[in-house]
Amino acid sequence: MNSARRSLRLIGLLMVFAMLAVLAVSGVGAQDAKILVTGLNMVGADPDNSLDPSLSSTVQSIQILDELYIGLTHLNEITAAVEPGMATDWTISEDGLVYTFNILQNVPWVRFNAESGAVEEVTDESGAVRYVTANDFIYGITRTLDPVTGGDYAYVLAPYIVNGVEFNAGEAAAEDLGIRAVDDYTLEITSPEAVGFAINIYGLWMARAQASWMLDEFGDTWVEAENRQTYGPFAMKSWNHDQDITIVKNPFWPGTEAVPQPALDEVVFRLLDDTAQFAEYQAGTMQAAVPPSAEIDRIKADAALSEQYYAGFDSCSLYYGFNWEKAPFDNVNIRKAFSLAIDRESVVNDVTRDGRIASRWYSRPGITGAPTLENNPDLGVSFDAAGAQAALEAGLADLGLSSAAELPTITLGFGDTEYNNLVAQAVQQMWAETLGIEVQLSAMETTTYFDVIEVDAPQIFRAAWCMDYPDANNFLYETTRSDSPNNYTNWSNAEFDALVDEARVSTDQAARAEMYARAEEILVAEDYALAPIFWYVTRQVVSPDVTRTFSSIGLERYEKWDFAG
């Protein structure tokens, strides 16, 4: 090697160093990436742990899915109105049955390449970029409805596609589904009934585009970050199971009015419970967190934290269900006694103390069709000690028992979180004080608990429902109708079923509101199938450095978040 060459090398090396220095000074380096770290409380969420659009059913999974895949229609996080998502526009036939969607063009499928550290477009065998087409939506919807897939939400989608229910039951072929691609970017869905909120349902996560070639290539491992192909505003960068999920900005997402290009480069979801999240937040390692409700008093009293705290509308509704197949809850008076004995005001004012609303019925006021507190001052149930004791007397007389001591042991089951435990102990004491009945508490590991209540719920069980789309149908038809898979009470009432069936397809909103109010009356105050406890509010602390939108739908739209300044 001669000296001339050596000095050339030296010059080259120096130039590289100089360039690196310039990069560092001008701040183009990785340090400047806008990375938001937030938390996701996955306790009990997503037992299958797949983040699969066809299988997922919990808010936590849907939060991630909503950033990775965009639906035909999109739910505005503030107004809960329907906006264009992957469909730029759509037409509905005059009879309200045929929906024709024009799909956004030039949205490529992408994946995160860990080697290059960048999001890249997915290409087919010939090297051409794969764009999202109507056929990908058909594939996604068919996969969800396929009985082999076994999706938890297939039953929500199936009734709004011709032959959907039959196909999901294994009685029709995939070709018979009322769904077809007019061309690559035009999708036509035919519904067997004209239903106002069907347009919401076509936008939900189980009706999104899925990549058939990816599933063929990777089998069950397609869900992992290194294999997963998506098309939404974010792509999946990494997924350390039970630890964290990182999503990264997808530069190929074209950005629309409803779903803009993200300002953040990355969002890290750390899978922590509320207590751990809040501790991390206070330590400054997270920019957004859900604080535990036990800390709310301190947060509100603290000058700085109270500014960062936000409590907003949340669609979730908590109830204690009664298993009708287990004595003594096969008796209406016993159920009534247990429901009336719960002092819901005391639960929200003294136990949760974070602005929750004591609920008198099941469906959350504020969503379309659900009864509102203003219009229905006398609807539903509330605490009534004398009424509860009278009902207990009547119930014992029905059963031929002389005292409550002769009742079988009664068990209240719930997923074992500190918070469920607290509410359960408060209600346990209310039952002891008002009815003189000692109820046993059975705290189960959260994932196990959900499996248990699906198959064989305890006599009394805790459950909650959060909306998937803002319509009372989502509560009353889909979770409490006699044949719903989410109806763990084993309750059925023909009048109730008829009411929610009629309200489902009615277009007259005033009439629907009346029907739902009547249905609620049957559910919580005539049959006492379940005891509503409270309606939730969201709790959040977010760093003052973050600019954001305030969501009312229980899901955040991180593509609209940014760091200030």
Partner 1 sequence: MTALQRPKPAAGQIANLKERPRGESLWGDAARRLRRNKAAIMGLIIIIISILVAIFAPAIAPYDYKTQVRADNNAVPYWVTRIFPNMIPEDEGGYITVTDKYPLGSDALGRDLFSRIVYGSRVSLAVAFVGPVVSIIVGLLVGMIAGYVGGKVDNTLMRIVDVMYAFPTFLFIILLMAFFRASFTQVEQGTFSYYISELDSATGGLLFIFVGIGLTSWMQMARLVRGQVLSVREKEYIEAARSIGTRAPEIMRQHILPNILGPIIIAETLSIPQYISYEAFLSFIGLGVNPPTPSWGAMISEGAQVINSYPYQALFPALALFFVMFAFNFLGDGLRDALDPRMRGVD
Q: Which residues bind partner 1 (CB under 8 A)?
A: 275, 278-279, 282, 292, 294-295, 297-298, 300-301, 346, 349-351, 353, 408-409, 411, 413, 416, 418, 421-422, 424-426, 428-429, 432, 440-444, 448, 456, 458
Say which DSSP state 125 is in.
T
Q: How far is the CB of 311 from partner 1 (least distance, A)?
A: 16
Token couple for 483: 């044949």
Q: How far is the CB of 494 from partner 1 (least distance, A)?
A: 30
Residue 183 or residue 433: which is nearer to partner 1 going by CB?
433
Task: State how far the Cα of 429 lies from the Cα of 423, in Å rounded to an integer.
Answer: 10
Q: HSE (CB half, 13 Å, CA atoms) of 123?
A: 5
Q: How far is the CB of 344 from partner 1 (least distance, A)?
A: 12
Task: State how far the Cα of 342 lies from the Cα of 319, in Å rounded to an integer.
Answer: 11
Residue 390 or residue 443: which is nearer to partner 1 going by CB?
443
Q: How far is the CB of 346 from partner 1 (least distance, A)?
A: 5
Task: State how far the Cα of 182 lies from the Cα of 138, in Å rounded to an integer.
Answer: 11
Residue 123 or residue 448: which is nearer to partner 1 going by CB?
448
Q: How far is the CB of 456 from partner 1 (least distance, A)?
A: 7
Say which DSSP state 373 is in.
T
Task: State how far the Cα of 350 lies from the Cα of 340, in Å rounded to an integer.
Answer: 18
Residue whose structure tokens are 């350390």? 240
Q: How far is the CB of 459 from partner 1 (least distance, A)?
A: 9
Q: How far is the CB of 280 from partner 1 (least distance, A)?
A: 12
**Are residues 309 and 541 in contact, defined by beta-carbon separation less than 8 angstroms?**
yes
Task: State how far the Cα of 55 lies from the Cα of 484, in Å rounded to an integer.
Answer: 17
Residue 108 or residue 292: which is nearer to partner 1 going by CB?
292
Residue 217 or residue 418: which is nearer to partner 1 going by CB?
418
- 244-260 core/surface letters (b: 16 or more CB in 10 A; e: else): bbbbbbbebbeebebbe
Residue 167 or residue 461: which is nearer to partner 1 going by CB?
461
Is the link from the previous residue into 53 a cis peptide, with omega within 30 of 0? no
Q: How far is the CB of 407 from partner 1 (least distance, A)?
A: 11
Residue 102 or residue 459: which is nearer to partner 1 going by CB?
459
Residue 261 or residue 411: which is nearer to partner 1 going by CB?
411
Residue 396 or residue 439: which is nearer to partner 1 going by CB?
439
Classified as helix, coil or strand, 141 is: helix
Residue 32 or residue 297: which is nearer to partner 1 going by CB?
297
User: How many other C-beta atoms can be found within 10 angstroms of the C-beta atom of residue 304?
Assistant: 9
Q: How far is the CB of 47 from partner 1 (least distance, A)?
A: 16
Q: How far is the CB of 373 from partner 1 (least distance, A)?
A: 23
Task: State how far the Cα of 141 lies from the Cα of 207, in Å rounded to an integer.
Answer: 5
Residue 78 or residue 441: which is nearer to partner 1 going by CB?
441
Say which DSSP state 526 is in.
I
H-state helical runs in 436-547: 446-456, 473-476, 494-505, 509-520
Task: State how far the Cα of 191 lies from the Cα of 123, in Å rounded to an integer.
Answer: 34
Q: Is 131 left (phi over 0), alpha (psi -120 to 50) or beta?
A: beta
**Nearest to 267, CA basis, from 252, 249, 282:** 249
**Which DSSP string corresponds to 315-361?**
EEEEEEEE-TTSTTTTSHHHHHHHHHT--HHHIIIIII-SS-EE-SS
Residue 421 or residue 486: which is nearer to partner 1 going by CB?
421
Q: How far is the CB of 137 from partner 1 (least distance, A)?
A: 43
Quote the radius of gyration of the chain (alpha carbons, Å): 26
Residue 92 or residue 294: which is nearer to partner 1 going by CB?
294
Q: How far is the CB of 532 from partner 1 (least distance, A)?
A: 19
Classified as helix, coil or strand, 89 is: strand
Q: How far is the CB of 345 from partner 1 (least distance, A)?
A: 10
Convert 206-248 into a string of H (helix), E (strand) and C (coil).
HHCCCCHHHHHHHHHHHHCCCCCCECCCEEEEEEECCCEEEEE
Token couple for 282: 């206070």
